Amino acid sequence: MTRTSFVFKSLLVSSLLFAGQTALAQIEGVYKSDSDDGCMVTISEINIPAPKFGDAYYRIESRGVAACMWDGVGISISTNLAGAYITLPPVHNRVNIHARWLFGPTSPKVEIIQRNADGEHLLTGTFTRQ
């Protein structure tokens, strides 16, 4: 292997590793509900040490009317974010959420599935990055 080819391969590997980390950071953002409910979800990374079995921790904030008002936290693994939120009654006050970016971490679309503490399906919604 020539020196030029070694340098080229090293640069290629370094850039791929950097691109992977950059793509993971792109799940942050403000997302608007695709339905008429007016919900807005903001996902932002929490600046604490990286988790042992995931990519990063995130704060998930949902604002709007009624069932749209909740705050949660989650841990990401590639294009998935698993977590939970707590809200005030009369809606379910302890809910597990699973967010999935439909076309990879740079996708403008995310699907959020909500289940109550018993695992019963409550709601599925899609959101588009603003």
Q: Please give the class, per CATH, of domain 3-129.
A: mainly beta
pLDDT tens digits, 110-130: 999 999 888 999 889 999 999
- Residue 30 DSSP label: E
Confidence (pLDDT) at 1: 57
pLDDT, residue 126, reads 95
> Length of the chain in residues, anyone?
130
Strands 70-77 and 80-86: what pairing?
antiparallel
Kindly indicate the confidence band of residue 90, based on its pLDDT and cuts at 50, 70 and 90.
Answer: low
pLDDT, averaged across the chain:
81
Q: pLDDT-based confidence at 7, cuts 50/70/90?
A: very low
DSSP 8-state code for residue 104: B
Q: Where are the domains of the chain?
A: 3-129
Kindly state the average pLDDT of the residues 102-111: 87
Task: Name the pTM for this structure.
Answer: 0.75
Average pLDDT on 91-106 reads 84
CA-wise closest residue to 34 among 112, 105, 116, 107: 112
Q: What is the DSSP letter of 67?
A: G
The one-letter amino acid at 38: G
Task: Return the pLDDT at 14.
Answer: 45
